[in-house]
Structure formats: C-alpha cells, structure tokens
Amino acid sequence: MLTRNHFDDEGCPVSQNPTPRQLEPLGHAVPSTVPTHWYNLAADLPEPTPPHLHPGTQQPLTPDDLAPLFPMALIEQEVTQERYVEIPQTVREIYATWRPSPLVRAHRLERALGTKARIYYKYEGVSPVGSHKPNTAVAQAYYNALEGTTKLTTETGAGQWGASLSFAAALLGLTCEVWQVRASYDAKPYRRFQMEAYGSVCHSSPSDLTESGRAMNAADPDTTGSLGMAISEAVEAAAKDPLAHYSLGSVLNHVMLHQSVIGQEVLTQLADTEEKQIDVAFGCAGGGSNLAGLTFPLIGQNLREGTTTRVVACEPAACPSLTQGEYRYDHGDVAGLTPLLKMHTLGKDFVPPAIHAGGLRYHGMAPMVSHALNLGLLEATAVDQDTAFRGGVEFARAEGIIPAPESTHAVAAAIAYARTAESDGQSVLIGLSGNGVLDLPAYAAYV
Ligand SMILES: *Cc1c(COP(=O)(O)O)cnc(C)c1O
C-alpha cells in the first residue's frame, strides 16, 4: 500500500515521507557537462525588472515580507543581480540522474517538412517526471530542507508541477501537500497517482481545508477551479504552518534562474555542432519558466557577445497573456494573497477554457519574461489548439517522441516557420519541455 492513507486528528490525510533527510552530497562523480552555476539574465538586462510589490502597502517587497513563505536562499535569489549563482553539489548530483538533457538534430522532421532549416530540439522529457519542472523543484526542496522546513505546499494544474515537487520532496526528505485544480483532479488522475507514489497528499481545489477554498466553494459550488484559486489555498496553508513553506513552479525570478541549466547546456552542446549560434528559438510559455530556462542564456549571449538569436514565446490562443494581456501589476492568485507582480496578465479572475495544455492555463506571465518582451528581447505568438496538436502529431511521427500538449505549441510554431523560405539555411531550436505520455487522452481526442 502506498504511504498516503494516514490521517490526522481531523481526518485529513497526512503526507508521509519515509526517506531520511540527505542534504550532504553523496560524493559520487557528476559529469562536468552538468552546469555548475545557474545563469541570471538580470545581470545583463539593459533595465532592471520592475520589483514585486507588497499586496497591502503596494511598496516593493522586503525579504521579511516573503519569509513566511520562502526560505531565505530563494528570497535572495529572487532579487540577486549576480550573473552566476553556484548550484549546490547535492542538487547537481540529483540533476545528474537525467542532465545534461539531450540536444537532438531533428533530421527526420527536416526531411518530412522538406525544409532547408536545420532543426534541433532540447528534450526535457527525460527527467523522472517527464518535464523541465524538476530543475527548479529539486533546488527549491533543497533550500527549504536546508533551512529547516519540513513540509512544502503547492498548487498544480494538470499535475506536472505537483508531481515534480513531490519527486523532489521525496528525495530530500520533505513532506508535500498539493492543491490540484478540480477539473484536472477529476479528469486526469494519473499525475495524482504519481504524487501519491512519491508520498504526497493531493487535494481537489477549491477544498474545504482552507478559508479561501471554503469562500470560493460558497461563491460557486460548481466551480472547476483554477490555478489562481489553488495558489490561494496553498499559500494560506503554508502561511498558517510555521514548519511549512510554499513553493511555486513558475513565474518567479528564482524559478527562471534554476531553469537556466537548459539553455546553458544548449550553448555547450552547440559547440559540438556546425552551428555558430541558434538563429531562432521557439519555446512554449505558460508561466514562462521553460522558455526562460531555454532562452535567457541565449538572450544573455546576444546582449554580451552580439549574437543575433531570435526568441519566440509560443502561447495558447485560449490563454494569450503575452499577445493579448495588459502589462501591469497584478496578483498571482485569485484571493489576492500573493505579491503584486508586474506582468502581462489577463486579470487574476480570468478562468481559461479547459484546453489540454493544462500547464499553459495561467492568467499571467513571469515578470522577467514580460519585461524581456517589453524590451524587445523576445517575441510572442499565439497558437490555437488544433494547430498545436497537428504539430505534435507531425513531430511524433517523424521523431518518435510524443511532445507534451504544452510543448506542441513550440513545435507547431517552429514547424510553421521551417516551412517558410525565411528559414532557409537557418538553425531552429525547439524547446521540447516535456513528453506527452501521461497526456495521451488529449492526443486521442485530437486524432
Ligand atoms: C508546466 C509546463 C509548461 C508550462 O510552464 P512554464 O513555466 O511556462 O514552462 C510547459 N511545458 C510542460 C511540459 C510543462 O509541464
């Protein structure tokens, strides 16, 4: 029997973690191709990213404001201007189980498209949960454990983030409690099973376990939930428990930092190819973390060394925060408990339609990605769901990997570009943020 069926005095399930806390490196060799530092675009930006504001005072946040939610190491990373931040060896050891992730030339896709572009993809689906999210989950769990947190709370949509944090919590000896958007909790149980296998507890959100959840249920008993609602619940649960902290899988600066291992590896791996640079890079954008991870190191190189890589953020037409949203301060959650973030937003109360790419259903966009768009350092395009899946199927049939529904947005945009004459002779990079093996019902619905 899995470890989930333990209950507290009030009959709520309690997450159990049998793994002993292991924060010291185990001392095994880590290949030198696993990055030693995270890269921070803030050091190379021509103008600083606008600060996060306190939701009450509207003044820039202080470290003390964030201390109830995050460990100090992550609070420092949220505001650091240092170009490189050293990756703790324990985190590198865990990364080494799947990093460096492959950079693959998509020869068969090129042939299928008849393109004169050279297409590469950087494949994050080789991680234990099948996406890029563990890159930050492991780092966040590590710093929390180091500072004495025993439990992490978080929200999840389709479940990729909940599964990633559960994986990281298990390896680092933390318990983990996840609020999952109700629509996904009901329709997509497999990632919940994954979370439970790792020892976490997963609640359907809005739940009756928090004040904000009870208020949202009272306002609309039939709500299908949203990420914004689930965030309110997870933040409230962490704020009320002195041994618990909250963990966010995207959007915040420290998450962009941790994900930079992706693009840094690309730069190293390119040295073994004929390419001097990537000409155009496509990444899907929900909260912005895989896009930032893949492309901020390339944008940094543009700014420092004069390379001319174009970066295209690919978002769903159904949740178009970058292409249709306003660039202004907004809350990250529905209840307004989180700091105000300057971002491209559709409004905190926006409930996106139930598209298959659950990871792209967020009303806002990372402040750093929003700022980079505003500065003209990247471009954005919206892709509709049918076009995205058509691209995903084309990719699967040529290359064999079934892309995550989120990743298909980048795949489809790259395919469309590779079909144009403009791409002749260019190098094109696709951020393949995850695989779609647990999302096959979405493919079945399309095919
Ligand atoms: C969560 C997720 C995304 C979207 O999140 P970002 O922060 O925008 O990266 C994209 N792809 C996959 C596979 C995901 O799991």
**Tens digit of each residue's pLDDT (9 = 90 or more) over 45-74:** 999 999 999 999 999 999 999 998 999 999
Question: Does the pLDDT at position 5 exceed 70?
Answer: no
Helix axes 227-239, 211-219, angle to 10 degrees: 150
Q: Select the more confidently predicted residue: 59 or 349.
A: 59
Q: Is 321 in the pocket of ligand 1 (CB under 6 A)?
A: no
Banded pLDDT at 21 (limits 50, 70, 90): confident
Q: Which two tokens stand for residue 342?
A: 């300057």
Ligand 1 atom showing the smallest separation from residue 360 Cα: 4
109-149 tens-digit pLDDT = 999 999 999 999 999 999 999 999 999 999 999 999 999 99
CA 316/CA 311 separation, integer angstroms: 17
Mean pLDDT of the chain: 93
Task: Please tell me the CATH code under which domain 18-91+133-246 is placed.
Answer: 3.40.50.1100
304-335 tens-digit pLDDT = 999 999 999 999 999 999 999 999 999 988 77
Banded pLDDT at 4 (limits 50, 70, 90): very low
Q: Is 406 in the pocket of ligand 1 (CB under 6 A)?
A: yes
| pTM for this prediction | 0.95
CA 445/CA 447 separation, integer angstroms: 6
Report CA(407)–ligand 1 centroid distance (Å). 8
Report CA(24)–ligand 1 centroid distance (Å). 30
- List, as one string, the DSSP characters of 60-126: BP-HHHHTTTS-HHHHHHHH---SEEEPPHHHHHHHTTTPSPPEEE-HHHHHHHT-SSEEEEEE-TT
Banded pLDDT at 357 (limits 50, 70, 90): confident
Q: What is the pLDDT of residue 435?
A: 97
Q: Is 427 in the pocket of ligand 1 (CB under 6 A)?
A: no
Task: Please tell me the CATH code under which domain 99-130+260-446 is placed.
Answer: 3.40.50.1100
Question: Does the pLDDT at position 11 exceed 60?
Answer: no
Q: Is 259 in the pocket of ligand 1 (CB under 6 A)?
A: no
- 188-219 residues labelled b (16+ CB within 10 A) or e (exposed): beebbebbbebbbbbbbbbbebbebbeebbee
Q: Matching CATH topology for 18-91+133-246 and 99-130+260-446?
A: yes
**Domain residue spans in the chain?**
18-91+133-246, 99-130+260-446
Banded pLDDT at 395 (limits 50, 70, 90): very high
Q: Is 227 in the pocket of ligand 1 (CB under 6 A)?
A: no
CA 155/CA 177 separation, integer angstroms: 9
Q: Which protein residue has the closest C-alpha to ligand 1 atom 3?
A: 359
Locus of tokens 């600060």: 51
Question: Does the pLDDT at position 3 exceed 50?
Answer: no
Q: Is 364 in the pocket of ligand 1 (CB under 6 A)?
A: no
Banded pLDDT at 19 (limits 50, 70, 90): low
Report CA(252)–ligand 1 centroid distance (Å). 14
Banded pLDDT at 356 (limits 50, 70, 90): confident
CA 437/CA 194 separation, integer angstroms: 13
Q: Are strands 244-246 and 280-284 parallel, antiparallel or unpaired?
A: unpaired
173-224 tens-digit pLDDT = 999 999 999 989 998 899 999 999 999 999 999 999 999 999 999 999 999 8
